[in-house]
Amino acid sequence: MLSLMSLSACLVLHAQKLYSTKTGQIKFNASSPLEHVVAINNQVDSKMIDKTGQIVFSVLIKSFKFENQLMEDHFNENYLESSKIPKAEFRGYITNVSSIDFSKDGRYPVNVDGTLTLHGVSQKVMTTGVMEIAGGRPTISGTFKVKVKDYGITGLYIGEKIASEAEISVNCKYE
C-alpha cells in the first residue's frame, strides 16, 4: 500500500514541467502627447513551472530597441543607467495556477504576484494576464503599469515629454 503511494507520488512529481523561452517580448511605452517613447525587447528570458506557478523574467536593458537611436542612447545612459545596472528581473508566482489545465487548449485568466527589480530597485507588483494554451504550448500575455519614480529613475523630462507611468506589455510564448 505504502509502496503504491510512493509510486504514485513519483508519477505526479514527474508530471511537473518547466517551460522556458529566450525570445519572449516585452514592450515598453512611456509616450506622452508630446513624444512617442516606445521600445521593444525581443530577447526576454523567461521560465515557469506549471505546478508551482513559479515564474521569472529576465531582460537586458540594452536589448530594448527604440525607433529613434538617440532616444535609445538616452534611455540607456541617462535613465536606466544600463552600463551600471544591465538587467531587469521579475520573480513571482502565478497564484491561480491550479485552475489552469496545461494539457487542454484554451484561454485562462492568470493572476501574477511578485517582485520587479528595475534600475536596481525592487518593488512588489500584482497584475493579471491571460495564458493561452495551444498545442501544449503556453503563451502568457499581460499589461501592467509602473511608476517610473518608484524605481529611482529620474530626469527632467519625466512627467512632460516622457510619461510618469510606463506601460509594460508582456508576450511570451513558451516551449
Partner 1 sequence: MKAFTYLGRRLGRATLLLICFYFAASGANAQNPDLFKMQDEQDKKDKKETTDITTSIFKTTRIVNGQSIENTGAGILDLKISHRFGMVNTGSYNFFGLDQATMRIGMDYGITNRLEIGLGRSTYDKEYDGFFKYRVLRQSTGKAAMPLSLSIVSTGVLRTLKDQPEPYSIHYSDHASYVNQILLARKFGDYFSLQLAPTMVHYNIVPNTSVPNDLYSMGTGFRLRLSHRVNLTGEYYYQFQRLTGYYNSASVGFDIETGGHVFQLFFTNSTGINERSFITQTDGRWGNGGVHFGFNISRVFTVAKHK
Stretch that binds partner 1, among 71-79, 104-112, 119-127, 137-145 (CB under 8 A): 71-79
Q: Is residue 175 near partner 1 by the rule CB under 8 A?
A: no
DSSP label at residue 77: I
- Name which of 77 and 101 has its Cβ closer to partner 1: 77
The C-alpha torsion from 81 through 93 and 22 to 76, rounded to 10°, is -10
Considering the complex, what minimum distance in angstroms separates the CB of residue 101 from partner 1? Answer: 19
The three three-digit cell numbers of residue 31, written as one number: 509616450
- Name which of 36 and 107 has its Cβ closer to partner 1: 36
DSSP label at residue 37: -
CA distance 1 to 162: 65
For residue 93, the Cα-to-chain-centroid distance in whole angstroms is 11
Which residue of 48, 100, 118, 168 would you call a contact of partner 1, by CB under 8 A?
48
- Name which of 17 and 107 has its Cβ closer to partner 1: 17
Q: Is residue 63 near partner 1 by the rule CB under 8 A?
A: no
Which strand (E) or helix (H) includes residue 5? helix 2-14
Q: Is residue 87 near partner 1 by the rule CB under 8 A?
A: yes
Q: Cell numbers 494539457 correspond to what residue?
A: 103
Q: Is residue 83 near partner 1 by the rule CB under 8 A?
A: yes
- Name which of 39 and 168 has its Cβ closer to partner 1: 39
- Name which of 55 and 148 has its Cβ closer to partner 1: 55
Which residues 100-129 are close enough to bind partner 1 by CB under 8 A?
none
Considering the complex, what minimum distance in angstroms separates the CB of residue 65 from partner 1? Answer: 7
CA distance 73 to 119: 16
The three three-digit cell numbers of residue 120, written as one number: 536596481
